[in-house]
Amino acid sequence: MVHQPVMLNEVLEYLEPHPMGTYLDMTVGAAGHSMAIAKKLQGQGKILGIDKDKEILAIAEANLSSCGTPYQLAHSPFSEASHVLEKLGIKALDGVLFDLGVSSYQLDLPKRGFSFGKEGPLDMRMNLNSPLTAADVLATYSEKQLSQIFYEYGEEPQGRKIARKIVEYRTRKPIKSTLELAALVSQCYDYQRGRTHPATKVFQALRICVNQELQELEKSLSCILPFLSEKARMVIISFHSLEDRIVKQFIKANLASLTEITPKPATPTQEEQKLNPRSRSARLRCVQKK
């Protein structure tokens, strides 16, 4: 499936790319946003793209190579962005974009294990070189640790019950596949949870845990701040309250050097939400370096 860049018009509006600028896309993915920024640079300036998924960087490479704007891509966690910039000899940025979470390419590939609707191994790693998979978490974490993850990263009200069920099940058989886990979680629900699949929050929690998503975000926001030029803009699109809380706290703690351009987060239009249901939970915040 092709990944539709979320809130693309708003990203361009808030980022205000100018042709001579250097822009860092912290979550380049398939380069949907980066290609649109590249067009605004009209063959000048520079796009830098980071992603921890090597497979997706190959797609970004293919897409950006036809844009005619200079670009460089790096396979790295975004928490290491300062090292990437130092290696590339980049001292200052005119804009930074974060479009958090997973891409449709990752979500829709059963072998990556992100989706509870498709049979696949319980992998969920964005970086295929990292050692810990979701199956490892389910096999080795204690009942208490699992219940904590489901509660903290998934805000899952049945977290304890689900953790108990998993620990009981794994004494008989390791939990290896996405559908196996989804079925197990569903058994802990004796009521229909609206239109949402009962395993939604557990899958979110495992993904956040496997990829250390919240720690990554916290670290990267502070590490990129010193690279922002005067009046540089930073746009962050988050998809759940845990991410948005970190962004909000970061902005609040740095108001001495940042101006908040969006005191309330911008949200996708009704039309976009209809066309791309994955955009529904998006919250965009923008700050400008003083």
Ligand X SMILES: C[S@@+](CC[C@H](N)C(=O)[O-])C[C@H]1O[C@@H](n2cnc3c(N)ncnc32)[C@H](O)[C@@H]1O
Tell the smallest beta-carbon distance from residue 7 to ligand X (Å): 10
| Strand order from edge to edge, sheet including 22-25 | 71-75, 46-51, 22-25, 93-99, 228-238, 283-289, 258-260
Of 7, 39, 9, nearest to 23 by C-alpha is 39
Q: From CA 290, how far away is CA 279, in angstroms rounded?
A: 30
Residue placing its CB nearer to ligand X in the complex, 30 or 236: 30
* 138 contacts 197 by C-beta, under 8 angstroms: no
Q: Is 272 among the residues that bind ligand X (CB under 6 A)? A: no
Q: What is the three-class DSSP state of 198?
A: coil
| Spatial distance between the Cα atoms of 273 and 254, rounded to a whole number of angstroms | 32
Please select the residue that binds ligand X; options are 22, 27, 178, 204, rule is CB under 6 A: 27
- Within 107-136, which residues bind ligand X (CB under 6 A)? 126
- Residue nearer to ligand X on the CB measure, 74 or 185: 74
Smallest distance, Å, CB 29 to ligand X?
3
Residue 51 Cβ, how far from ligand X at the closest point, in Å?
A: 4
CB of 171 to ligand X, least distance (A): 34
Candidates 23, 47, 67, 103; binder of ligand X (CB under 6 A) is 103
Count CB neighbours of 129 within 10 A.
8
CB-nearer residue toward ligand X: 31 or 188:
31
What are 45's two structure tokens? Answer: 């300036």
Q: Which of residues 214-253 bind ligand X (CB under 6 A)?
A: 216
Q: In this structure, are residues 268 and 280 in contact, taking their beta carbons and an 8 Å threshold?
A: yes
In one-letter notation, the amino acid at residue 126 is: M
Judged by CB under 6 A, the number of residues near ligand X is: 21
Rounded-to-integer distance, Cα 76 and Cα 30, Å: 15
Cβ nearer to ligand X, comparing 187 with 269: 269
Quote the CA–CA distance of 209 and 267 in Å, as a whole number. Answer: 26
Backbone φ and ψ for 162, nearest 5 degrees, come out as: -65, -40
Binding residue (CB under 6 A) for ligand X from 17, 21, 32, 159: 32
Residue 184 vs 205, nearer CB to ligand X: 205
- Minimum CB separation of residue 266 from ligand X in Å reads 16
Site residues for ligand X, window 41-100 (CB under 6 A)? 50-53, 56, 77-78, 99
Identify residues 192-221 at the interface with ligand X (CB under 6 A): 216
Smallest distance from ligand X to CB 108, Å: 12
- Distance, in Å, from the CA atom of 53 to the CA atom of 41, rounded to the nearest integer, reads 26
Among 15, 22, 33, 207, binds ligand X (CB under 6 A): 33
* Partners of residue 260 on adjacent β-strands: 287
Contact positions vs ligand X (CB under 6 A): 3, 5, 27, 29-33, 50-53, 56, 77-78, 99, 101-103, 126, 216
